[in-house]
């Protein structure tokens, strides 16, 4: 059995730190030494039951969807779909393709971030994911669903990510309370 070392380091402590003042993928790029690029599509949809539950809104409520393909040195390594209530995004830079990091734009709009919850899993990719990520047959993906909460505890964003399992290492640090 061969051991594969992931070449993209995703560290929870540095990537989502307000002090770094940059998008999380840019923190990954700096830590791992790759050139990042992102293709972004913004659209408006009605929240399905799952998204509505995560965002504590009614099913069918209008949401802003930021659908991204993230590349490292030109190779697609992550698919990321963020959903936010349109009530939070209407008239803000979040609805623009070239707006930069969603969390910085949320804070600029007066929504201070308080915490994040991530659910991490692994599975085989869908045919569409395998094609977009140019995966070899039999290569699994990691899934991360992150919910960003405001300082008052209200959910602001749900972000569903699909990462190439053979290229990522996820690192988490927490105090031993």
User: Strand ranges (DSSP E) for the chain?
Assistant: 8-11, 36-46, 62-72, 75-85, 113-123, 141-150, 155-164, 168-171
Does the structure show a pLDDT above 50 at 176? yes
CB 83 within 8 A of CB 51: yes
Please give the pLDDT value at position 177. Answer: 72
How many domains would you assign to the chain?
1
Write the CATH number for 39: 3.40.1410.10
pLDDT digits (tens, 9 = 90+) for 7-51: 655 555 544 444 444 567 767 776 777 788 889 999 999 999 999
Please indicate whether residue 100 or residue 105 has the higher confidence score (pLDDT).
105
Please give the pLDDT value at position 1. Answer: 30
Residue-number span of the structural domain to which 66 is assigned: 8-171
Comparing C-alpha atoms, which of 90, 100, 92, 79 is closest to residue 145? 79
Residue 1: inside a domain: no
Q: How far is Cα 130 from Cα 95, in angstroms, rounded to an integer?
A: 28
Please state the pTM of the whole predicted model. 0.84
**Chain centroid offset of residue 144 CA:** 8
Residue 53: inside a domain: yes
Please give the pLDDT value at position 171. Answer: 82
Residues 6+ apart with CB under 8 A from 15: 24, 27, 28, 31
Residue 2: inside a domain: no
Here the tokens at position 174 are 């927490």
pLDDT digits (tens, 9 = 90+) for 52-90: 999 999 999 999 999 999 898 888 999 999 999 999 999
**Chain centroid offset of residue 102 CA:** 9
pLDDT digits (tens, 9 = 90+) for 117-174: 999 999 999 999 999 999 999 999 999 999 999 999 999 999 999 999 988 888 888 7
Does the structure show a pLDDT above 50 at 4? no
Residue 146: inside a domain: yes
Please indicate whether residue 172 or residue 5 has the higher confidence score (pLDDT).
172
């Amino acid at each position: 059995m061969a051991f594969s070392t992931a070449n993209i380091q995703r560290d929870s402590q540095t990537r989502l730190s307000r002090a770094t003042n940059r998008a999380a993928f840019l923190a990954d790029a700096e830590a791992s030494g790759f050139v990042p690029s992102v293709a972004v599509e913004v659209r408006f949809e009605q929240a399905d039951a799952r998204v509505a539950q995560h965002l504590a809104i009614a099913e069918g409520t209008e949401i802003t969807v930021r659908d991204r393909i993230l590349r490292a040195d030109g190779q697609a390594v992550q698919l990321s779909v963020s959903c936010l209530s349109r009530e939070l995004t209407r008239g803000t830079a979040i609805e623009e393709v070239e707006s930069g990091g969603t969390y910085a734009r949320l804070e600029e709009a007066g929504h201070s971030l308080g915490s994040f919850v991530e659910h991490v899993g692994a599975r085989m990719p869908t045919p569409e994911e395998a094609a977009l990520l140019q995966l070899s047959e039999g290569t699994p993906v990691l899934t991360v669903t992150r919910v960003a909460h405001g300082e008052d505890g209200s959910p602001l964003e749900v972000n569903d990510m699909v990462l190439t399992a053979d290229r990522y290492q996820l690192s988490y640090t927490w105090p031993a309370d």
